[in-house]
Structure 1
């Protein structure tokens, strides 16, 4: 009996220890299952972020992407997938486990800057630029770019970058979700005078701030036209072709008149050769259009009104082999500014020639000069070539590699 009693007690103790261990084991199993469900919910929610991001990359536009997000919700059985006005993608899964994820997306246009230049840019007078809006920083602050350049910019006079909406209340920006009350963030609002960006590199704290962006590898052709340089002949087929004019026999034969005749039938005009614009208006105001000047000098004297974009292209390898001075002397308007020309001047505006859709000087080796108080109110919507947007996660997000 003693043996049976001791044996029974030992078995009871063993049973108690077994029950205790099983309880702990059941607890661990439950925790494991909960962790599995939590991770499943996490990855389903992250799948929603990736799905939404993919639609954004395809459409380059938030409003278009929003209409497709229901496909992601149905595919992944998500409860919420949306993009808010601050460019955050929100993904929520509330099934056996709950998970909410939010990540911010940046929209960067591949072609940006109120002025883009591969030539030396000289601004002989005060300038005020309402710049291109590139990226959202935080709150109501945005990254602005006034001039993007690869060579050198010289400003002799006062320079100021106006915040979007400040003094230009009628300007509408095509950057996603930018309101007219947006302002250029600190470090993107140059306000200085008599500086040379070749000697004073742009910085957030320097006199020349980051709205003057230096890019030694700038090559704007493909990002602007969405075509390779090798496809230039195909690109020209989309334009109305015009032969330039510098010494017209009659007023009707002036370069601006030739351009206006072409603009009457097309919003895209391609001018081949030298063109003396004088001070004539170009096209109807308020209608987006684009002018391309190919392998020619461009001169203007007086105020030239133009709502549209301008692309000045020089890609002839022999363009600079012969002195350009004699070609400038044939321009009737050059008598007003001949003393200010450089040996390799390719564009000279002796007055307010201000393309509201932006201007690109794809003229390496040349000098582009504005001899005026330039007030450029940039509006991307006046460019018929809407820029493609590069969509990327905000730096520091989980997909940061």
Structure 2
């Protein structure tokens, strides 16, 4: 009997040990199961994050290559290359204004995985007209739309004219603001804001003016000092077609390009989008009209006048940018002899207006660097790097800013990540 009792006790003990072992094994298995499940979830989350970051990198590479803001916000732009390839539900692209865009890849539950901000803005100074020379604008000036400039909480900067030293407005400067049908560039979104203080088009005389005593248009545009103008002219990046003055002018150190407008037109017809004029140039009447019409068949033309006086007479619109650079050249009355502009600049009444505006000791009007008569505009802007020299607009001016024209000439700025938005630690 004792022997059977001992056997039962041993069996019971063995059973308890086995149950304990099975319990421990089950607990260990359950722990291992949950650990495995957690690892699987972490891997899935990490894979989703990798897919999201991969989509962001893909979008950035594609935007770097194409450099097209308007396409970026298109519904199917990223679909094939970046969305479907990574099995994402969607890549949301939202304009934040000031040429900044939020990118958010979404998972299968339409939840955002990661969010980064891409910035297409350029480093150009705002201002439809920029001048280091003294500006004399005899009649009214209308800007519609202006260069929007920088966006703030209150509205847009909206600089119509950026000047270094002096400006005289003989008429009003009217800024119609950004709530117009014509946009300053393709894809522009004002975010419901208008120009600061203009409320959709102010009529203040000083509306849209900005003084910048450090203004350096050539340096800002070409990223080098104006002393290096020859390097810019001969740089294959720009492929300048060069017109050189072929007519000597008595008493002037700057030769004149004869029949300047016709020669510019012919160069545009040949496919040249960047034209460098060494010397003085005057374009009038039919030549100005035909040159302007030819520019409309292009994406935009850069016309750069170097070391000479420049004179325009007529109305119309040139699809492009005007840049005038006088470096070491000081215009005199001799530079205007024989030009149509001389009959206005040498007029005593005209000269008296200049003296009244800038002082009796100011040089005579017929020593101006730039003279424009007629309602004519360059849609990409006018940049006049002519320190201390006179810049004259005789008649009313209607200006419509178009940044796409500038981009076509100088190239779109490649996008960059907003600081703090993407791996910039």
Give TM-score, length-normalised by structure 1. 0.69
What does residue range 182-201 of structure 1 map to in structure 2 within 5 Å?
185-187=194-196, 189=198, 191=202, 193=204, 195=206
Structure 1 position 308 matched with structure 2 position 308: no
Separation (CA, whole Å) in 2 of partners of 1:385 and 1:51: 27
Separation (CA, whole Å) in 2 of partners of 1:246 and 1:354: 29
CA deviation profile, 1:129-168 (whole Å, cap 9, x unmatched): 1223567889xx877553456x3463535434323452xx
What does residue range 108-147 of structure 1 map to in structure 2 within 5 Å?
108-109=121-122, 111=124, 113=126, 115-117=128-130, 119-122=132-135, 124=137, 125-129=139-143, 130-133=145-148, 144-147=158-161
Structure 1 position 335 matched with structure 2 position 346: yes
Separation (CA, whole Å) in 2 of partners of 1:284 and 1:311: 12
CA deviation profile, 1:191-233 (whole Å, cap 9, x unmatched): 47455xxxxxxxxxxx768x88887565244379xx9861413
Greater share of residues in strand: 1
| Alignment partner, residue 376 of structure 1 | 399
Long gaps (5+) in structure 2? 1-5, 251-255, 356-361
| Alignment partner, residue 360 of structure 1 | 383
Separation (CA, whole Å) in 1 of partners of 2:42 and 2:346: 81
| Alignment partner, residue 57 of structure 1 | 64
How many pairs does the alignment contain?
Answer: 369
| Alignment partner, residue 271 of structure 1 | 277
Tell me the CA shift for residue 172 of structure 1: 5.9
What does residue range 36-47 of structure 1 map to in structure 2 within 5 Å?
36-47=43-54
1:324 to 332, 345, 348: 332
Secondary structure of the residue that 2:414 maps to in structure 1? Answer: strand
Separation (CA, whole Å) in 2 of partners of 1:241 and 1:163: 38
Q: Which moved more, 1:31-40 or 1:259-268?
A: 259-268
Q: Retained in 1: the 8 A contact 2:319–2:379?
A: yes
The verdict on how the C-alpha distance between 1:338 and 1:172 changes in structure 2, with shifts beyond 3 A counting, is same
Structure with greater Cα Rg: 2
Tell me the CA shift for residue 48 of structure 1: 0.7
Tell me the CA shift for residue 29 of structure 1: 3.0
Instruction: Provide the aligned C-alpha RMSD in A.
Output: 4.7
| Alignment partner, residue 163 of structure 1 | 177
| Alignment partner, residue 260 of structure 1 | 262
Separation (CA, whole Å) in 1 of partners of 2:418 and 2:302: 33
CA deviation profile, 1:283-340 (whole Å, cap 9, x unmatched): 243444443211112245x644232334333253x324xx635545773331244342
Greater share of residues in helix: 2
Tell me the CA shift for residue 33 of structure 1: 2.3
Q: Retained in 2: the 8 A contact 1:278–1:333?
A: no
| Alignment partner, residue 36 of structure 2 | 29
1:89 to 97, 103, 106: 103
Q: Retained in 1: the 8 A contact 2:174–2:205?
A: no
Give TM-score, length-normalised by structure 2. 0.66
Tell me the CA shift for residue 59 of structure 1: 1.2
CA deviation profile, 1:33-91 (whole Å, cap 9, x unmatched): 21122012112211111111111011111566766762345654545456567744343
Q: Retained in 1: the 8 A contact 2:322–2:378?
A: no
